[in-house]
Amino acid sequence: MKRKKSAVIVATTVFVLLGTATLAAESAVSSKIESRVQQQLPGASGISASVPLRDLPSILNSDLIKEVKIDIADYTLKSSGRKSSLEISAKEVSKSASTQIGSLDIKSTVAISQLLADSGFSDAEIVDNALQISVGAGGLGKALIVPKYSNNQIYFQIKSVSIMGSPIPASSLPADIQEQIKSRTVKDLRVPAGLKVKSVSIGLKGLSVSFQGTNINLRSLALSL
């Protein structure tokens, strides 16, 4: 009976030690990634990185990181000067000095207030993954507008309108109304090197632009992000 108890204690101790060692290794790898990101993006703050625990053995014994997720709480985009949060998912990342990334997804989110500061939509609020604004005489109408991307520009387009509770299909609106909304909200977007725009959307955190790319050089990306 004592031998069985001893075996259980030993097994438990080994399990705890292995678990502690794994967490320590994961923390060390994450810390190195965070340091590399900080070097390349010195203006970034609130950087956190994580890798799947299952990948630790290969990460520790090779020059390749199969997958890593990086969150940046605050970063000022070079292209626009706007503060943004970044969610980054990278795969097949080399640990060499040049740092090549096999595939990369970046989601950049900026506060709606930054984009609409000059548009005049002071009462805009996020409703159902769209912006709700007042329209019409005395602001009696409500319109939902959604972001669009085209030709390196982001702008908003009317999705639906209701006047005193009565819905009006966006297709029934005069074309010049859509153009007015676009002209008041259009912003140029400089896409970071090697990436392309995947989608634009509205969420509780603000307006998000998702970028995607393959075979990316980290330094070249950092210079244009």
Burial of 60 (0-12, 13-18, 19+ CB in 10 A): exposed
pLDDT per residue, tens digit, the chain (225 aa), is 544 444 433 333 333 333 344 445 567 778 888 888 999 899 999 999 988 878 777 777 788 889 999 999 999 988 778 899 999 999 999 877 678 899 999 999 998 777 666 666 777 888 888 888 887 666 678 889 999 999 999 999 988 888 877 788 777 777 788 888 888 888 888 899 899 999 999 988 889 999 999 999 988 888 888
Q: Is 111 helix (H, G, I), strand (E, B) or coil?
A: coil
Q: Report d(CA 180, CA 123) in Å as an integer.
A: 17
Beta bridge partners of 177: none
Per the CB < 8 A criterion, the answer to whether 206 and 112 are in contact is yes
Cα–chain center distance at 78: 16
* Residue 37 in tokens: 């990101």
Per the CB < 8 A criterion, the answer to whether 107 and 122 are in contact is no
* Residue 90 in tokens: 């990278």
Q: 96 — phi, psi (to 5°)? A: -75, 170
Q: Report d(CA 49, CA 34) in Å as an integer.
A: 6
pLDDT computed for residue 118 by the predictor: 61
The three-state DSSP-derived secondary structure of 12-48 is: HHHHHHHHHHHHHHHHHHHHHHHHHHHHHCCCCEEEE
- Which candidate, 122, 89, 82, 121, places its Cα nearest to that of 207? 82
Predicted confidence (pLDDT) per residue in 39-89, tens digit: 989 999 999 998 887 877 777 778 888 999 999 999 998 877 889 999 999
Count of C-beta atoms within a 10 Å radius of residue 78: 14
H-run or E-run covering 214: strand 206-217
Compute the CA torsion angle 141, 209, 188, 119 (nearest 10 deg). 20
